[in-house]
Chains A and B, each alone.
Chain A
Amino acid sequence: MFYRAHVLIEMTSNSIHLGASQVKERLEREIAQAGLSNEVKVLETGPLGRGVPSPFLMIYPDNIMYAPVTVSEVREIVSEHLLKGRPVERLIVSETAPALKEGYFRPSPLAKEKRVVLRNSGLIDPGSIEDYIAQDGYQALGKVLSMSRQEAINIVKDSGLVGRGGAGFPTGLKLEFTMKAPGEEKYVVCNADEGEQGTFKDRLILEGDPHSIVEAMAICGYAVGAGEGYIYIRAEYPESIRAVEKAIESATDTGLLGDGILGADFSFQVKIRQGAGAYICGEETSLLESIEGKRGEPRIKPPYPPQAGLWGKPTAINNVETLANIPPIILNGADWYKSIGTPTCPGTKVFTLTGNVNMLGLIEVPMGITLRELLYDVGGGIRGGRQMKVVQTGGPSGGTMTPDMLDVPMAFDTLAQFNSALGSGALTVVDDTHCIVDVVKNFCEFFLHESCGKCTPCRIGNKRIVEILDRMQRGRGRPGDLDLLRILGENMKTTSFCGLGQAAPNPLMKCLDYFQEEFEKHVTEHLCDCQVCEMKPKRKEVGV
């Protein structure tokens, strides 16, 4: 089924509280009554970032957002916008977010855009394997089946592709390690847990071009010598699960999965596992535990998954966006891929722009674009003509970028030099009306909530950090609090068991350095220049 339009509705605990469920129900009813059920699809999505009133509706491909939406406004949006194609200008903006009036960027006219992983999304019917095949789909699979494993892996290695799931590990090497690890039984796993706030790129690929992932998994399966692949999709993405299910089914029916694929001596199956919902399940070893039916807690590394992964067997685990790169790389060759992006970090990256920019949205661009280009050329500048304060990349556990980094090329290696990270590519833009203590506390609260609790520094450290930031916000900061924060952060970074705890203090540490004065003012003068923090020091402090 090919949908002419997708309506994303925000489904978060906050938006549900503000009536999102009723809006969704009404939306589906109105769409059905207007006879649009076969043309317009309603998708649930996560939050888009600060400043967007809840609940919102985002209509693709028009890139128009209505926010906030009430039940009584749904009928008009459906009959005017979706049926007649006339956006309801009156509802696009809200009193609380006038800057949103500017609209949302449309990826296509932008010169910088380069679609590799999103090559088919929105352009073909994701439910039709014929559509995918018509776009050269499954040709890459056919091509690798005529090569040796090593030859196939060499192409990926030469391309310079690194993992897009956050860590930036060279994908070709990972495949090679898995291929070379001793053992008969091996696995390929696709990480589609997409737990970062504000990202929906993996989901767009899964729902817009599911066959590209199925094909890529089969290619990896052949390359490492696996007969089975698992795709771990978060349960909050039922549409993605359905799309992938359908793709697996039609690929199997067509003989592109199953026994003796394309007449070669290669059999491969793909199974779907639903995510348990916890952020930590996106961490590769927790994810494996979860597939095995255990509590989603990270494993001791080494051994790494390519040595001992799923059920102790060598396993190549890759992110959705990483995988989506593989068929085009196989088809077009390593040199083609290297011609995109930077010399040290080739290829494209999907960025999601959320927060205080004029235009929100998602765009695939070559690696090496600067933050300035993303914010000003793509995002249309900071809301209300203000200044950027920080940009968080790749969600809370990614990197934190400060204004001095506006001209740093966005790539895994360059950002690492600045003690930052590209992460999954979600960019949360925070303008200078925000208090840094408040911003940092929000990130830290996320980790407090997501810590699995296994190790001391993360389980208790996050709690203590949030408590200290909280008292600073209430004007009860104590001398020495900044030192304590640094000690706690450093300790988490150096002693936490897994990447979550190790990355958790990143925003805190980066901002403590860059915005030291602002933090100090909270503690010593009990002043919040942004007037965000309440700062009501009580005369007598009872307890902590």
Chain B
Amino acid sequence: MAKVAAEVNRKDEQENVATLYLDGREIQVPASSSVLEACKSAGIHIPTLCHMDGLTPYGGCRICVVEIEGQPTLAAACVTPVREGMKIQTSSKKVREARKANLELLLSNHPLDCQLCDRNQFCELQDLAYELGVRKIRFEGEQQHHEVDISSPSVKRDLDRCILCGRCIRTCSEIQSVFAIDFANRGFESYISPSLGLPLGESVCINCGQCIHACPTGALSEVEHVEKVWDALNDPEKTVVLQTAPAIRVSIGEPFGMPQGTISTGKMVAALRRLGFDYIFDTNFSADLTIIEEGTEFITRLTQGGVLPLITSCSPGWIKFMEHFYPELMENVSTCKSPQQMLGAVVKTYFAQKIGVEAKDIVMASIMPCTAKKYECQRDEMRASGYQDVDYTLTTREAARMLREKGINLAEMPEEDFDEPLGLSTGAAAVFGATGGVMEAALRTVYEKVTGETLPKLDFMDVRGMDGVKEAIVDVKGTPVRVAVAHGLGNARTLLDTVRAGEVTYHFIEIMACPGGCIGGGGQPIPTNLDIRMKRIEAIYNVDKSFPVRKSHENPAIQKLYEDFLGEPNGEKAHHLLHTHYSCREKM
């Protein structure tokens, strides 16, 4: 019997494998592979433009064409399934000429001024032109022109550089389920447009910037704050304060050639100090502060019968998404501001007092992995100090560019520390940068506050990792606390729909707009993909482990802030400075 079963198994396996002839070499691949995947598994990386791992195959650019014996036309490898016995040629004359012709066609409708482009040196189109040996464009002619769309506070769209690969559209719809953009018009006049032809700034775009990572060219990039920050640095009247988000220290090394997943906290601080910031604080400090405020809010709701589940509020992209698509969950969302905004409010009040500088003379800048932070800091609610609490937000990419302009190579820097007193943080704050991190940090504090006992094991493995929706039940001294974590708004939608339908009841939910959490934010270095996200996450947990103190409520600087200035967690002053409110927005 066992033997028969084994044979059946072997047969099944055989049926699931296809034998192909790749450039004359016999290879075996899973029968469900695409030609692109098959080639990759054999070490041949077919050039692509419209294809992106994790998105539905599209087949529009026709760069990935290969020759398949018996077929009169060339096949796009990304959308062609393998067939048993298929004979594939990947560099025949016909293939090479077709790829080149299609690339030249794309370039014939392209500005070709790489020097002036945001994506110079990080551009797939540019790389491909080099790799395919395009040295001249044979087909010149009319080019399409569009005004640069700078209506959004976060994402700039320069459609003249767009090659209509549709990766942004698929990211926005398939990963984020926002559906803010789509193709408009037809044929040569096609272009990407928010629905109803609105400018992006008036659309349902939630500013996450994931489309920027998806974009192979310079068509999408962040709205820059670089010049404004330089102006502040060069203004002797201003005290320029900087904060850096938890996710920056594990990614800012990448643009300087450091391996992905390198922790470069000390070098980062040293480099930024050399740019001329007067004080460099750590958003991790206010991440600890967030845990105190949000943890207190959760405990109050849990013990006094408030609206549950409580949903986190650190991710401004998620907040705008909620305001558009889930306004009925508004009461569930924590009123806590994000760590960026908490620190801004504390700097322009508490710290301003402390150093005897008026808030109006302080410029608060931040380095964030996030494009939505640019939008968040401009929201009307974010003026607790009487001024805009955070003035400018740089993405990791912009920060790296400023360092390069100044001629600073981060890799060569010594290690330096953040400034006191808003630079001190715990391991709990560090994990904010990864999906599940806010939940884990909150659980560490909530458990101890509620039970009065020391948490036996700090690591909550169930909420870590790249699964789209993660769940855990935490036993808080006999009370089972049910928590869930979602990252990427498509996953969030799945989770929230089950909550809204009453299928599951949770006590606490963490939502991050970006896949992987902040380390995968729209402002992170390019490229940002699954592999790189995982390396950055690993680094985040190593940062956590390196801290002697790994619970927010044990941060002495936080304790002192409450004693000296804020009073009670969730108290009146804390409420005024550290909490906010939301509003309903159109669904279209």
Contacts and interface: CB of A to CB of B under 8 A. Distances in A.
Interface in A436-464: 448-457, 459-464
Interface stretch (A49-57, A404-412, A489-497, A507-515): A489-497
A467 B98 CA distance: 20
Interface stretch (B183-191, B260-268, B513-521): B183-191
B304 interface: no
B527 interface: no
A456 B102 contact: yes
B62 interface: yes
B62 A455 contact: yes
Contact of B74 (A302, A453, A494): A494
Nearest to A452: B186
A484 B136 CA distance: 14
> For chain A, what secondary structure do more than half of its interface residues adopt (helix, strand, loop), or is it mixed?
helix
A372 B79 CA distance: 44
A451 B108 CA distance: 18
Contacts of A502: 73
B57 A464 contact: no
Interface size class of A (residues with CB under 8 A): 20 to 34
26 contacts: A300-B79, A451-B186, A451-B187, A451-B188, A453-B183, A453-B186, A453-B188, A453-B190, A455-B60, A455-B61, A455-B62, A456-B61, A456-B62, A461-B105, A462-B188, A464-B105, A487-B101, A488-B139, A491-B97, A491-B105, A494-B72, A494-B74, A494-B98, A495-B62, A495-B102, A544-B141
A295 interface: yes
A295 B183 contact: yes
B59 A491 contact: no
B59 A497 contact: yes
Given A455-B62, A460-B188, 15 more contacts: A278-B186, A295-B182, A448-B188, A453-B183, A453-B190, A455-B59, A456-B106, A456-B163, A457-B105, A462-B188, A463-B141, A464-B141, A484-B138, A491-B102, A494-B72
Interface string B177-207: 0000011011111100000000000000000
B65 interface: yes
B81 interface: yes
Given A455-B60, A456-B62, A302 B73 contact: no
B94 interface: yes
B62 A497 contact: yes
B109 interface: yes
Given A462-B188, A494-B98, A456 B60 contact: yes
Contacts of A461: 105
Interface residues of B, number: 37
B102 A457 contact: yes
B577 to A, nearest CB: 48
Contact of A460 (B81, B98, B108, B182): B108
Nearest to A453: B190
Contact of A495 (B57, B65, B140, B183): B65
Interface in A470-518: 484, 487-488, 491, 493-497, 502
Interface in B87-143: 94, 97-98, 101-102, 105-106, 108-109, 138-142
A397 B188 CA distance: 18
B144 to A, nearest CB: 10
B164 A459 contact: yes
A448 B187 CA distance: 7
Contacts of A463: 141-142, 188
A300 B62 contact: no
Nearest to A297: B183
Contacts of B59: 300, 455, 497
A392 B443 CA distance: 74
Contacts of B190: 452-453, 459
A453 B187 contact: yes
Of the candidates A484, A493, A494, A497, the one having the most CB atoms from chain B within 10 angstroms of its own CB is A494
Contacts of B183: 295, 453
A78 to B, nearest CB: 40
Contacts of A278: 186
Considering the complex of A and B, which 3 residue pairs feature the smallest CB-CB distances, nearest first? Answer: A453-B190, A451-B187, A460-B105
A34 B551 CA distance: 94
Of the candidates B65, B102, B105, B182, the one having the most CB atoms from chain A within 10 angstroms of its own CB is B105
